[in-house]
């Protein structure tokens, strides 16, 4: 699978023009059969690398997914991570903050869900909602019990961007590798997927009138995403704007990036010391001769 990841990597400090950035590109697969073959290969490789990550127990990996509704976050996570051992992978879907969560700073609830060493953590939406939906709907900020002098000024968003970047730098310095995916969906493709959810009884539960209401704020969301990506994409915690109108293509690109991230880590199965090896050989002899191993 050949693909120029730099074409979708958001360069630090550069504001991406999401209106002009494509939501559909030339697919990295040539047929349905090749897609399944590539995805099977990626899933198998991810499974092997995740086992080594778990055994090495020094790094953790955090994958963050953000997107407009119906962009395919759930299906991307489900397909890409389908072969990973559940013991080594934690998926969190962040909904509206609970009353308890609102009593803390906006990073608190996600800190409680960070992956342990040796594990892969996946955030389906994240603390980035605080500079996306909250920026589009600033009335949400009014309900967060934050002192007025800290919220009633234009710099509140700059403070949050800075908090996020500092937070991610701290995690990186302590062994957590962060990769962030913005699934870039077109408004027309979202409309088609909404219609499909209405027409398929098994998908009715995934759709609500509120989803349609949010389409009225499409331009505001695009502006919020552009600013967010520019302010928070860094060398150590990059954003990737993945064209998402083709779900299969998006999944392959996401899985390739996750593979590249794991392959870049200095991870290996722990080496056995001479003393431990001798102990294991002694145990083997006892197991081979049950009479002596009573």
CATH code of the domain containing 54: 3.40.50.300
pLDDT confidence tier of residue 31, bands split at 50, 70 and 90: very high
In terms of Cβ atoms closer than 10 Å to its own Cβ (0-12, 13-18, 19+), residue 186 is middle
pLDDT in tens, 146-201: 887 777 777 899 999 999 999 999 999 999 999 999 999 999 999 999 999 999 99
Q: Is residue 225 part of a domain?
A: yes
Task: pLDDT band for 292, please (50, 70, 90 cuts).
Answer: low
Task: Please give the helix or strand (H or E) that residue 231 lies within, else none.
Answer: helix 218-232
**Is there a domain that residue 258 lies in?**
yes
Q: From its phi and psi, is residue 241 left (phi > 0), alpha (psi between -120 and 50) or beta?
A: beta
Distance separating alpha carbons of residues 40 and 82, to the nearest angstrom:
10
The domain tally of the chain equals 1
Q: Classify 104 as helix, strand or coil.
A: coil
Residue 58: which of 167, 171, 174, 178 has the closest Cα? 174
80-90 pLDDT per residue, tens: 998 888 888 99
pLDDT, residue 93, reads: 92
Measure the CA–CA gap between 121 and 62, rounded to whole angstroms: 5
Confidence at residue 164, expressed as pLDDT on a 0 to 100 scale: 98
Does pTM surpass 0.85? yes
pLDDT at 144 (0 to 100): 86
* Distance separating the N- and C-terminal Cα atoms of the chain: 55
Q: Is residue 23 part of a domain?
A: yes
pLDDT score, position 294: 56
75 phi/psi in degrees, rounded to 5: -70, -35
Q: Which tokens sit at 84?
A: 């990973």
Residue 107 lies in a domain: yes
pLDDT tens per residue, range 142-160: 888 888 777 777 789 999 9
pLDDT of residue 156: 92
Q: Is residue 293 part of a domain?
A: no
Q: At 6, list the tokens.
A: 């730099």
- Residue 293: pLDDT over 70: no
Q: Is residue 207 in some structural domain?
A: yes
Q: Are 181 and 65 in contact (CB under 8 A)?
A: yes
pLDDT band at 272 (very low <50, low <70, confident <90, very high): confident
In terms of Cβ atoms closer than 10 Å to its own Cβ (0-12, 13-18, 19+), residue 51 is middle
Task: Give the domain range for residue 187.
Answer: 5-288
pLDDT at 233: 98
The whole-number average pLDDT for the span 20-35 is: 96
Per-residue confidence (pLDDT) for residue 196, from 0 to 100: 94
Specify the pLDDT at position 289. Answer: 84
Provide the β-strand partners of residue 78. none
Report whether 246 contacts 24 (CB < 8 A).
Answer: yes
Please tell me what DSSP assigns to residue 9. Answer: B
Tokens 């090896």, located at residue: 277
Q: Mean pLDDT over residues 18-35, rounded?
A: 96
Task: Report residue 38's pLDDT band, with 50, 70 and 90 as the boundaries.
Answer: very high
pLDDT in tens, 40-54: 999 999 999 999 999
Q: Which residue has the higher pLDDT, 86 or 6?
A: 6
Give the position of tokens 């759930």: 74
Domain presence at residue 294: no
pLDDT in tens, 108-120: 999 999 999 999 9
Spell out the residues 6+ positions from residue 148 whose beta carbon is closer than 8 angstroms to its own: none
pLDDT value of position 207: 87
Tell me, yes or no, whether 275 lies in a domain: yes
Q: What is the pLDDT of residues 215-264, one digit of tens each?
A: 999 999 999 999 999 999 999 999 999 999 999 999 999 999 999 999 99
Closest residue by Cα to residue 240 from 17, 24, 11: 11
3-class SS of residue 50? helix
Closest to 238 measured CA to CA, from 12, 44, 34: 12
């Amino acid at each position: 699978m050949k693909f120029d990841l730099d074409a979708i990597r958001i360069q630090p400090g550069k504001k991406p023009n999401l209106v002009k950035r494509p939501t559909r590109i030339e697919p990295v697969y040539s047929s349905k059969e090749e897609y399944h073959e590539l995805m099977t290969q990626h899933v198998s490789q991810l499974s092997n690398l995740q086992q080594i990550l778990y055994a090495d127990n020094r790094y953790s990996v955090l994958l963050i997914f953000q997107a407009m509704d119906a962009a395919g976050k759930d299906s991307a996570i489900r397909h890409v991570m389908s072969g990973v051992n559940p013991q080594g992978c934690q998926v969190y879907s962040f909904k509206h903050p609970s009353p308890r969560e609102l009593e803390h700073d906006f990073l608190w609830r996600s800190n409680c869900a960070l992956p342990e060493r040796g594990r892969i953590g996946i955030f389906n939406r994240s603390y980035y909602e605080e500079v996306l939906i909250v920026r589009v709907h600033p009335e949400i900020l009014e309900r967060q019990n934050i002192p007025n002098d800290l919220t009633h000024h234009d710099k509140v968003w700059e403070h949050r961007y800075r908090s996020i970047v500092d937070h991610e730098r701290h995690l990186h310095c302590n062994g957590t590798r962060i990769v962030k995916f913005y699934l870039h969906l077109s408004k027309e493709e979202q409309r088609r997927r909404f219609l499909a959810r209405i027409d398929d009884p098994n998908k009715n539960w995934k759709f609500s009138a509120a989803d349609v209401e949010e389409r009225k704020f499409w331009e505001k969301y695009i502006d919020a995403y552009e600013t967010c990506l520019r302010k928070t994409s860094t060398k150590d915690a990059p954003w990737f704007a993945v064209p998402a109108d083709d779900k299969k293509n998006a999944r392959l690109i996401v899985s390739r990036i996750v593979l590249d991230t794991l392959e870049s880590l200095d991870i290996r199965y722990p080496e056995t010391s001479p003393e431990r090896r001798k102990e294991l050989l002694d145990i083997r002899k006892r197991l081979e001769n049950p009479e002596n191993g009573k």
